[in-house]
Chains A and B, each alone.
Chain A
Amino acid sequence: MGQCLRYQMHWEDLEEYQALTFLTRNEILCIHNTFLKLCPAGKYYKEATLTMDQVSSLPALRVNPFRDRICKVFSHDDVFSFEDVLGMASVFSEQACPSLKIEYAFRIYDFNENGFIDEEDLQRIVLRLLNSDDVSEDMLMDLAHHVLSESDLDNDNMLSFSEFEHAMFKSPDFMNSFRIHFWGC
């Protein structure tokens, strides 16, 4: 657990990050601190990267059943730069707009990355949501079938992005649940 060079963030950088993301000042500084604690010794924070394991073990993500997908979606070349982490926090912040959240939720839930959420993805989602020993095959198939019959508008047995977006815009709880507040402060 090394420590990056302890640079104070420049004021212009802070302003720029505030303009580019949906995060508040305090949140950005908090994430900056967390990043500094984790990144390897002796590097400037803008050049340092974190591995996916390091980000997965952040307290905010450690117990999340979708943490591997989150890391895959937000990382570039399997590592996280500081701006990747900021981008991730911005999507999960409270002030982010619904369309951005829905888009990233779609990417996260698409396990096989074929651009659609199909039955297999749905079953994997339900398995991750529950403890795997409690769930029977029938229940998984039943649930996947129900979800598809509700939201699949063009009957291709998969959810495209627009169908997913259509379903989630109507969900009043989605914004509340797709939110991470604390990144280690």
Chain B
Amino acid sequence: MEENRTWDPDAWGSSGEQPAPQKARGGQSLASVLHQLPSAATLRYRGPGMLPWGTLEEEDEDGERSRQASAEASHSELSHPSQAREQVALGSGPRTAHWARLLPRSKEKMKEGLRGLQPWAWTLKRIGGQFGGGTQSYFSLLRFLLLLNVLASVLQACMTLLPTWLEGAPPGPPGPGTSSPCGSYSPHTQGLVSFPTQLFNLLSGEGYLEWSPLFYGFYPPRKYLAVTYLCSVFAVSLICLLLTLHRSSVSGLKQTLLAESGALTSYSHQVFSAWDFGLRGDENVRLRQGIILYELQVELEEAVVRRQAAARTLGQQAKVWLVRLLVNLLVLALLAAAFYGVFWATGYTVELQEMSLVQQTPLLKLVVNYLPSIFISVVNFVLPFVFKLIAPLEGYTRSRQIVFILLRTVFLRLASLLVLLFSLWNQITCGGDAQAEDCKTCGYNYKELPVGSSRGRRIPGGKEELGAGGLTSWLGGGRSLGCSPGVPDEVLGLIYAQTVVWVGSFFCPLLPLLNTVKFLLLFYLKKVTLFFTCSPASRTFRASTANFFFPLVLLLGLAISAVPVFYSIFQIPPSNACGPFRGKSSIWAQIPESIDSLPQTTQNFLFFLGTQAFAVPLLLISSILMAYTVALANSYGRLISELKRQIKTEAQNKVFLAQRTVAMSSAKGASTSVSRDDVPP
């Protein structure tokens, strides 16, 4: 089959002459036959007056014939770059009416304008060109989170700050002489306060900051304010959910899902998409070459590992699975130890706060306040390192190891946050036991509250975590100044910070605003570090994985942050001394009360929405739709594999027919040349 194609061309540096192919005299070569196929028409056309690409410099009539044939065949299908755009836009020939060109062009202009509105678009392009897609996806994610925070802060400001001031200035904190013991609370310290104390108050959110719009306790118990406060939470979560879903579907989930099992075509992708054509600068080039070499070696190694895994005997399999089980148990043990440590740290903090020595020294008080956060940050720093060390023992391929490490790190971070909240809940509600001594009077542990920690009224995780999270991420930024950013670690840090902010923003409505400022500063800091100090990542993270994996983790963070917020809305009785929900049995109780004040028909409608008569048909219809979509997807998958099989068969048919043509024409040529040879010259 290959005998007609064994010439030896040389591309760059040759004098341009191609040695004549070893084809049978009088017949055509296989390649030239295949070139005349209509499917290769667009590929051959190189512009007017040019030899179609792929033809050889043949002197004899066959060359002329094939050239002419291919030129004619290809004039009908143009793929010069200047024509391709028209074809794409209009789907018809190059001659169309002027007005028919205007409409798509105006649409293009609008899209272009919208794309240019996005801030830092040019910066992101530059970063992507110089440092690769992985780093660009980090900055793109940062910009997206910035957008989320800006929207959230605007919404919350509108829905909480505006109504507060609309009905007159809010009152000050309740005085110390109120009747019930649950109601007394005095945030302001009496007399002059020294400067260091002011500074520490700023950092820990006590003193004058406690009674400010920053915290939940400030808002007066007005009816409309209560409703809008609650609705702002739901609105913000809904918007964040929609935007995150949009981003994850737009930027890569669809592509990644459509691409059937990436393991099957990874070599082709790595060879053909390895080089980033936008790279400039010799330094970047050398690094890129290093990265490509590393990735190719990893691929080959993985192939070897996979071959070994396939060749394992039963005994070896059992051993490997035993080792994996042990490693997972070790990981679980480490995680459990970490969680217990967080739990213990929170309890110890409260104990420490009651010591008089701590109360005297503001610095110690600050440290003690931040103790759980410090503990969590240390754990988040040490444990992933341990995970990386033990991962090679499991005997997976390297890409799978990375996935496992990432999953464990994500789980560690999100779960430690949950554990912190759980321990705080434990403190506040006396372990859920409403009849315990401390909690009986007011429904929650009021004794904790006036001791200057004011933790009962807000999830202090919000402010302190923000502070400590901010500190550690800046420290983490300092780590990457030496430059080997582990883009995944940085991105997980971002998502973790955002989750914390979501949790805290119910009790500190202005928290998204603070977070916006923080992310803005972070963006510029990272950019400066990247361009001036840093050499690019020595190990790139593929942009496609980044676009798929990180929005997913963001969604997970959103879901996890919803749990404590909704739990506190529905279950925990709000404090009686401050906040817009004082005096109610639960925060959610505000809504039924407001509904009662609406006209009767609206009430009936809203109650109907909550009954079974509405929910069950809705559930049925959703299940039917889901089943239909799944069936559709399955049938498309089957269609695709069927079509692929057909393509294979057609390609084989085509090669077979071309070979027959060549064989027949060479036989004909041989017979004519034989007859020609008989004639004397």
Chain A positions within 8 Å of B, measured between CB atoms, are: 18-22, 24, 59-60, 62-66, 68-69, 72, 74, 76-77, 83, 86-88, 90-92, 94, 97, 100, 103-107, 109, 111-116, 122, 124-126, 129-131, 134-135, 139, 142-143, 146-147, 150-151, 153-157, 160-164, 166-168, 170-174, 176-182
Residue of B nearest to A124 (CB): B11
**B72: Cβ under 8 A from any A Cβ:** no
For A164, give the chain B residue with the smallest CB separation. Answer: B272
Chief secondary structure at chain B's binding surface: helix
Specify the chain B residue showing the minimal Cβ separation from A18: B105
A151 touches B268 (CB 8 A): yes
A16 smallest CB distance to B (angstroms): 9
Asked if residues A113 and B54 are in contact (CB atoms below 8 Å), the reply is yes
What would be 24 A-B contacts, judged by CB atoms less than 8 Å apart? A64-B277, A76-B46, A77-B50, A86-B81, A87-B80, A97-B84, A100-B81, A103-B43, A113-B9, A113-B11, A129-B289, A130-B296, A150-B264, A150-B267, A151-B268, A153-B648, A166-B647, A168-B272, A170-B260, A170-B265, A170-B269, A172-B547, A176-B128, A181-B278
A180 CB contact (under 8 Å) in B252, B277, B296: B277
For B86, the chain A residues whose CB sits under 8 A away are 19-20
Q: Which of B288-335 contact A (CB under 8 A)?
A: 289, 292-293, 296, 299-300, 303
Judge if B437 is at the interface, Cβ distance under 8 Å: no
Residues of B within 8 A of A171 (CB): 259, 265, 268-269, 272-273
Is B585 close to A, CB under 8 A?
no
Known: A22-B85, A115-B54, A170-B258. A143 touches B275 (CB 8 A): no
Q: In the complex, which residues of chain A have a beta carbon less than 8 angstroms from the beta carbon of B255?
A: 172
- A115 nearest CB neighbor, chain B only: B54
Given the interface pairs A19-B101, A64-B277, the reply to whether A103 lies near B79 with Cβ below 8 Å is yes
Question: Which residues in B have their C-beta under 8 angstroms from that of A177?
Answer: 133, 273-278
A170 to B412, CA, bound (A): 34
B647-A162 in contact (CB<8A): yes
The answer to whether A179 and B277 have CB atoms under 8 Å apart is yes
Please determine whether B268 and A147 come into contact, CB atoms closer than 8 angstroms.
yes
A76 to B81, CA, bound (A): 13
The answer to whether A106 and B273 have CB atoms under 8 Å apart is no
The 4 A-B pairs of least Cβ separation, nearest first, read: A87-B81, A172-B544, A154-B651, A112-B9
Compute how far the CA of A76 lies from the CA of B265 in the bound complex, rounded to whole angstroms. Answer: 35
Q: Give the CA-CA distance A66 to B276 in the complex, in Å.
A: 11
B261 CB → nearest A CB, Å: 10
Given known A100-B79, A179-B277, contact A170–B271 (CB-CB < 8 A): no
Interface assignment of B674: CB less than 8 Å from any CB of chain A: no
Q: Which residues of A contact B272 (CB under 8 A)?
A: 105, 109, 125, 164, 167-168, 171, 174
**When the two chains form their complex, are residues A76 and B50 in contact, meaning their CB atoms are under 8 A apart?**
yes
Complex alpha-carbon distance, A151 and B285, angstroms: 28
Most buried by B among A65, A135, A151, A170: A170
Question: Whole-angstrom distance between the alpha carbons of A103 and B303 in the complex?
Answer: 30
Instruction: Identify the closest chain B residue to A117 (Cβ).
Output: B272
**A162 in contact with B544 given A64-B277, A112-B9, A143-B271 (CB within 8 Å):** no
CB distance from A94 to the nearest CB of B (A): 8
Query: Which residue on chain B has the smallest CB distance to residue A161?
Result: B43
Q: Which residue of A lies closest to B82 (CB)?
A: A20
Cross-chain contact B280 with A59 (CB below 8 angstroms): yes
Chain A residues near B12 (CB-CB < 8 A)? 68-69, 72, 111
A83 partner residues in chain B, CB cutoff 8 A: 82
Hey, which chain B residues are within 8 Å of A125, CB to CB?
Answer: 271-272
**Would you call B256 an interface residue if the criterion is a C-beta within 8 Å of the partner chain's C-beta atoms?**
yes
Give the residues in chain A near B388, CB-CB below 8 Å: none
Q: Which B residues are closer than 8 A to A by beta carbons?
A: 1-2, 5, 9-12, 31, 34-35, 39-40, 42-43, 46-47, 49-50, 53-54, 79-86, 88, 101, 105, 112, 125-126, 128-129, 133, 252, 255-256, 258-260, 264-269, 271-282, 284-285, 289, 292-293, 296, 299-300, 303, 542-544, 547, 644, 647-648, 651-652, 654-655
Q: Which residues of A contact B547 (CB under 8 A)?
A: 172
With a cutoff of 8 Å between Cβ atoms, the chain A residues found around residue B84 in the complex are 97, 100
Q: In the docked arrangement, what's the CA distance between A178 and B278, Å? A: 8
Complex interface: chain B residues within 8 A of A160 (CB): 651
Q: A97-B88, A173-B273 are in contact. List 14 more A-B contacts (CB 8 A).
A: A76-B49, A86-B82, A114-B9, A129-B274, A129-B289, A150-B264, A154-B651, A154-B652, A170-B269, A173-B133, A176-B273, A176-B276, A176-B543, A182-B278
Most chain B CB within a 10 A radius of its CB, from A130, A131, A151, A154:
A154
CA distance A171 to B50 in the complex (A): 32
C-alpha gap A5/B122 in the complex (Å): 30
* Interfacial chain A residues near B274, Cβ < 8 Å: 129, 177
Given the complex, which residues of B lie within 8 Å of A139, measured CB to CB? 296, 300
B85–A63 touching, CB < 8 Å: no
Q: What B residues does A18 contact at CB under 8 A?
A: 105
B273 surroundings in chain A (CB, below 8 A): 168, 171, 173-174, 176-178
Contact residue among B39, B43, B296 (Cβ-Cβ distance under 8 Å from A107):
B43
**A178:B268 contact, CB within 8 angstroms:** no
- Contact, CB under 8 Å: B277 / A92: yes
Known contacts A66-B275, A180-B277; decide if A87 and B10 are in contact (CB<8 Å): no
Chain A: minimal CB distance from B437 (Å): 60
Whether A63 pairs with B279 at a CB distance below 8 angstroms is yes
CA distance A101 to B544 in the complex (A): 18
